[in-house]
Structure 1
Amino acid sequence: MLVREPRRGAAGSRRAHDEERAALDWAEIQERMLVPLYAAVYERLEIGPGARLLGLGCGAGLALVLARARGASVTGVDEGARARLALAAERLGCSVAGAGPSREPVPPPGASVPRRDVAARGVAAAPEDVATPRLLHGSPAVLRGVDAPPYTVMTAFQPAGAMAGDYETLTARLRAALSFTAHGATVVVAGWGPPERCAASTVLRVATRLADTDASLPFGPGELGAGGGWRPERRDDLEAVAARAGLRLLGSGRVACPFGYAGTAGAVRGLLSTGLFDAAIEATDAAQVDKELREALHPYTRQDGTVWMPNVFRYVVARRD
C-alpha cells in the first residue's frame, strides 16, 4: 500500500518522523497526489446523493471529503496511525470512534471544517443535507457497532502492491467488510501501475535495497514474505485480490497520478510520510535513507528545483453479488 502502517513495538515507531509529523506530511504533501485517482473513480461510479460509501484505510480522509462534496454519505475505517484519523476528523467535522487524544480538539458532529484546513489542504465543503460522516479506528469489525444501513459503495484507495503481504492483508479486509455492504454493492480496489509507467518505482527501490528485502516475490496466499521492502505490482494482481475476496469483476482503469513537489526537501518528506521507508530506516538510519532518497530523486529534479515523477495507478471495479 502507498501508506504503510507503522510497526508496533519498533523503537519510536517512526525514526524519521514521529507519527504526528508523518501524518501532517502525508496530509499536506503526499496525499493530494492521489486526487486524480479518487476523481476518476467517483466520476466513473457517478458518486453522488444517495450513495453510502465506506472507505477502507481512509487515512487522513481526503477521498472521503471529495465523496462527501459530491453528496455521498461517508464512513471511514482505518487501523493505522491515529494521527491520520485525527486529521480526517478535522477535515470532516466529526469525531473518531475509539480514538485517543488528538492533536487538537476534534470539532463536534455537524461542525464546519476549519477555515485554515480548507485553505491548507484543499478541502471542499459538503452539501448541507449530507449525513454526518463517521470515522472509526480499527479493523472492519468495528463496523458492527455502527447502526446504519448497508453501504452501497466500498473503496480501498491506498494503492496495494507496494509491500510484501499487501495483497493478503487487503483481501482479508475486503472479506471482513463485505458483510456490511448491500448486495449489489460496488467495490473499488486500487494499486500501482506497471513499474515502467511509474517513475516513483525507481525511488521506492531505495527502500527495498536498504532494507535488504526481496522485491520480486510472487502473489499468492502465504507466498509473500514479511519483508518491508517495496515490490512492483504484477499484471492482474488486483483482479486476483477481488476474486479471492469473492467479488465479481466489472472492469478496470488506469489513471495518471504524477508526484510533483516544490523541491527535494518536500519530496523527501512526502515520500517518507508513506511509511514505505520505515524498514530501510530501521535497517540503516534516517540520515542514510535521506541521502539516498535525494540521490534517487536527482533525475526527476528540474532546473527550477521542482521534482516531477510521472506515475500511473490502476484500479478494478467489482461487485458483491
Structure 2
Amino acid sequence: MTPTLVPHHPARDWAEIQERMLVPLYEAVYDHLGVGAGTRLFGLGCGSGLALLMAAARGARVAGADRDHARVALARERLPEGVTVTEEPPEDLPYDVITAFHATDGMLPGLRSLTRSAQPGAAVVLAGWGPSERCATEPVLRVAARLADHAPAPGPDLDALVAGAGLRPVGSGRVACPFGYAGEASAVRGLLSTGAFEEAVRATDLSQVEKEIEEALAPYVRPDGTVWMPNVFRYVVARVA
C-alpha cells in the first residue's frame, strides 16, 4: 500500500478533523451536570476549544488551559471575545465545573495541585478511553506503541486518579464516540493529530507511520471509502472536598 503523503499540521488537523469526534462525550457530561447559564466552567487540556465553545453556547462562563501552544492559538481564534485560554492553569480556580476530557495517568501531580486550588464542592470530570474491547481504534493505536518500541499504554485509570487526587467520586458514565472520516487520508491526519503517534514518528519517520496507520485502518474502511470505528469513552464525576 502506498502511504498517504499529507501535510502534517497536528493542531489544525485536531481542530478540523478529530476534535468533533468527542462531541457526544462533551454533551453527555454537560447534560449530566446541568451545565448552563450561571455555570462557571474551566477546561483543563481544552485543546482548540470546541468543548469550551459548546459550554459557552449553553450560557456557561468558560476558560481553559492547554500546554500545546498551537491549539491554544486556535482556541483563542474560535472562542468569544473575553474568554481566557492559557498554556498553564491559573493558581486559583473559582469554577463550579472543571473538565479534563483527555485524562492521563501522568496528570496526577497536576490534578492534586488543581484540587488544592479549586473551590470546595466543585465538580471535577475526568474522561478517557473505555474498555479496549469496545474501542475499534485500539488496534490502530497499538501501531504507535509497536513503532515506538514500547508496550501498549492502557487507558487511564480514572478511579485511581480520583482517589489519588483526594476527590470524592459521585458518578460516572459511558458514551459512544464513533470515529468517522470521509476517507483514509482524513483518518490518518485525524489520528496523527491526537499526539499518540509522536514517539513513533521520532523513532521511524512520518511516511512509515502513515503507511502502517493506513494498513491498520483497512478493516474499518467501508465500501464507499469512508472510515468508521465505533468507540466507547468513560467519564467519572467527582467533587472537591
Task: Give distance in 1, aligned partners of 2:155 and 2:197.
Answer: 17
Q: Give the equivalent residue in structure 1 for 2:85.
A: 135
Quick one: which amino acid aligns to residue 264 of structure 1?
E
**How far apart are 1:287 and its partner, in Å?**
1.3
1:60 aligns with 2:56: no
Partner SS for 2:173: strand
Q: Give the equivalent residue in structure 2 for 1:97.
A: none
Greater mean alpha carbon deviation, residues 301-310 or residues 84-93: 84-93
Q: Give the equivalent residue in structure 2 for 1:200.
A: 137
**How far apart are 1:278 and its partner, in Å?**
1.0
Of 266, 289, 302, the residue aligned with 2:222 is 302
Provide TM-score, normalisation by structure 2.
Answer: 0.94
Task: Give distance in 2, aligned partners of 1:153 and 1:176.
Answer: 16
Contact 1:201–1:232, Cα closer than 8 Å, also in 2: no
1:89 aligns with 2:66: no
Partner SS for 2:142: helix
1:74 aligns with 2:62: yes
**How far apart are 1:286 and its partner, in Å?**
1.1
Q: Give the equivalent residue in structure 1 for 2:3.
A: none
Contact 1:53–1:72, Cα closer than 8 Å, also in 2: yes
- Richer in helix (by share): 2
1:180 aligns with 2:117: yes
Q: Compared with structure 1, are the counterparts of its residues 155 and 300 closer, same or farther at alpha carbon in structure 2 (3 Å cutoff)?
A: same
Of 203, 215, 224, the residue aligned with 1:283 is 203
Of 14, 17, 26, the residue aligned with 2:14 is 26
Contact 1:194–1:232, Cα closer than 8 Å, also in 2: no
Provide TM-score, normalisation by structure 1.
Answer: 0.71
Q: Give the equivalent residue in structure 2 for 1:221.
A: none
Cα deviation digits, residues 206-262 of structure 1 (max 9, x gap): 0011111022xxxxxxxxxxxxxxx2227xx10110110010011110000000000
**How far apart are 1:180 and its partner, in Å?**
3.4
1:253 aligns with 2:173: yes
Partner SS for 2:21: helix
Quick one: which amino acid aligns to residue 254 of structure 1?
R
Q: Give the equivalent residue in structure 2 for 1:225.
A: none
* Runs of at least 4 residues off by over 4 Å: none
CA RMSD of aligned residues (A): 1.5
The percentage of aligned residue pairs carrying the same residue is: 61
Task: Give distance in 1, aligned partners of 2:220 and 2:147.
Answer: 21
1:232 aligns with 2:219: no
1:214 aligns with 2:136: no
Question: Structure 2: where are the runs of 5+ without partners?
Answer: 1-5
Q: Give the equivalent residue in structure 2 for 1:219.
A: none
Partner SS for 1:207: helix
Cα deviation digits, residues 160-184 of structure 1 (max 9, x gap): 3xxxxx31x3212211222332211
1:152 aligns with 2:96: yes
**How far apart are 1:17 and its partner, in Å?**
6.1
Contact 1:23–1:84, Cα closer than 8 Å, also in 2: yes
Partner SS for 1:182: coil
* Count of aligned residue pairs for this structure pair: 236
Partner SS for 1:135: strand
Task: Give distance in 2, aligned partners of 1:174 and 1:151.
Answer: 15
Partner SS for 2:195: coil
Partner SS for 1:213: coil
Cα deviation digits, residues 110-166 of structure 1 (max 9, x gap): 3xxxxxxxxxxxxxxxxxxxxx3211112x3xx13x7xx7111100011x3xxxxx3
Structure of higher RCO (CA pairs closer than 8 Å, 6+ residues apart)? 2
Of 24, 28, 33, the residue aligned with 1:36 is 24
Task: Give distance in 1, aligned partners of 2:29 and 2:7.
Answer: 32
**How far apart are 1:308 and its partner, in Å?**
0.1
